[in-house]
Amino acid sequence: MKHIKNVPFADDAFRMLDLYLPEQESFPVFVYFHGGGLVAGDRTGSAASMIFLAEHGVAVASVEYRMYPEAKYPEFIEDCALAIAWVKKNFSKYGNVEGIYAGGSSAGGYLSMMLCFDPKYLRAVGIDPLEIAGWFHDAGQPTKHFNVLKYSGEDERRVIVDESAPLYHIGTQKEHSPMRFIVSDNDMENRYEQTMLVLSTMKHFGYSRYDHKVMHGKHCHYCNTVDGKEGGLGALVLDFIQDLPI
């Protein structure tokens, strides 16, 4: 496994990628968006899971995106779209890419859902959302994110479905790439119920290429280990990629 740090994907010293590369010449690539409520966290926070993926044949590009309070909505979504575009354009120099997958945890799950369900962000960087081989949405908020609410002057507890909410965009596209949703039965307040609403809405619109897993415990507790096994989040992502097509 090879680890390449601090690879810029935009024209500043902050928006960087950390790359985790398998030994083999051909591999799928997983673009990962970290959690932290759009105010905290960084691309190194799930390094053990990224290493696990690379050791099991999946390359990873872990993304550093701008956050509150320095950034404003929707700059963090635009940054993640730029990161995917960089991977599409440049990753062939590291090996033969067998599909680009994308996803994230918590705030990163919100970001991956926004990119998946609102096509304007990827289209702005020249990518058709269907070019993404699969989406991994882990514990993301499908309504207006609580910190988008906060920095808009709203009560963070409100449940709002507007253009900043992934749920708002479900049903606007004829089809989506395969995707998997992850949520805990004791997740953040209202997160489980909102995720179930997403699944119901997907079914209501006739989408079929999706599934979900319900974990047991608190929000993202499984990111380090899953049922006592190594890999944590990385093992869940690997299972998703290996399970395709959904």
- What pLDDT tens digit does each residue of the chain (246 aa) get? 999 999 999 999 899 999 999 999 999 999 999 999 999 999 998 898 999 999 999 999 999 999 999 999 999 999 999 999 999 999 999 999 999 999 999 999 999 999 999 999 999 999 999 999 999 999 999 999 999 999 999 999 999 999 999 999 999 999 999 999 999 999 999 999 999 999 999 999 999 999 999 999 898 888 776 555 567 899 999 999 999 876
Q: What residue has token string 């269907």? A: 130
Reported in sequence order, the residue ranges of 113-154 that DSSP labels E, i.e. its strands, are 134-138
Q: Which fold has domain 2-243?
A: Rossmann fold (3.40.50)
Contact 106, 220 (CB under 8 A): yes
The closest of 27, 16, 21 to 3, measured between CA atoms, is 21
Task: Give residue limits of the domains in the chain.
Answer: 2-243
Cross-strand pairs, 17: 7, 63
Cross-strand pairs, 27: 97
Report the distance separating Cα 163 and Cα 232, nearest Å. Answer: 32
Q: What residue has token string 């940054």? A: 79
